[in-house]
Amino acid sequence: MTSHPIAPELTSVTDTSTAVIRGVVPVAELANFFDRSFTTLATVAASQNVAITGPAYALYRGVPTDTADLEVGFPTSEPIDPTDGVEAGSLPAGRVARAIHQGGYDQLGSSWGQLEQWIRDQGLQPAAPFWEVYVTQPRPDMDPDELRTELNWPVTG
């Protein structure tokens, strides 16, 4: 299946409390960083009785090159106490262009590119940071075409 954003739209989002792990990570090591981080985040949240209120996400501070400057996390019911590399964070409020990427993670770059073009076609400018929400939790035995990733890109203009 060819991955692509489905029905991009403009929407407003509110500030959301999160528990995060930040890093500047070589792109080749992102999968390991995600796996380690999400395990640690869930353990720390549970140990503090802080509820995870939505799916995992990754927020990028700029377009990845050989490395990605990012944070991975979960939305939470309240701020978390910093420990074990986990920090309190937030997803920003504002106007975003949003689309759903359908398919494997290896095609996310193409979907981000298509969303950027859609933003520019609307006469808007993409801004940083931008983030992806992993709507479908991956499983080792699943068909990658079943994955859904929500793309969120703040816009100005």
Q: How confident is the model over 77-125, as pLDDT tens digits?
A: 999 999 999 999 999 999 999 999 999 988 999 999 999 999 999 999 9
Listed residue (41, 38, 59, 39) closest to 50, CA to CA: 41
Instruction: Give the 3-state secondary structure of 26-95.
Output: EHHHHHHHHHHHHHHHHHHHHHCCCCECCCCEEEECCCCCCEEEEEEEEEECCCCCCECCEEEEEECCEE
- Give CA separation, 49 vs 42, 43, 46, 95, 121, in Å: 10, 10, 5, 31, 45
pLDDT band (50, 70, 90) for residue 7:
confident
Domain ranges, residue 123: 5-156
Distance CA 108, CA 131 (A): 12
CATH number of the domain bearing residue 52? 3.20.80.10
Number of domains in the chain: 1
The pLDDT tens digits for 113-153 are 999 999 999 999 999 999 999 999 877 788 888 999 999 99
The pLDDT tens digits for 13-67 are 999 999 999 999 999 999 999 999 999 999 999 999 999 999 999 999 999 999 9
pTM above 0.75, yes or no: yes
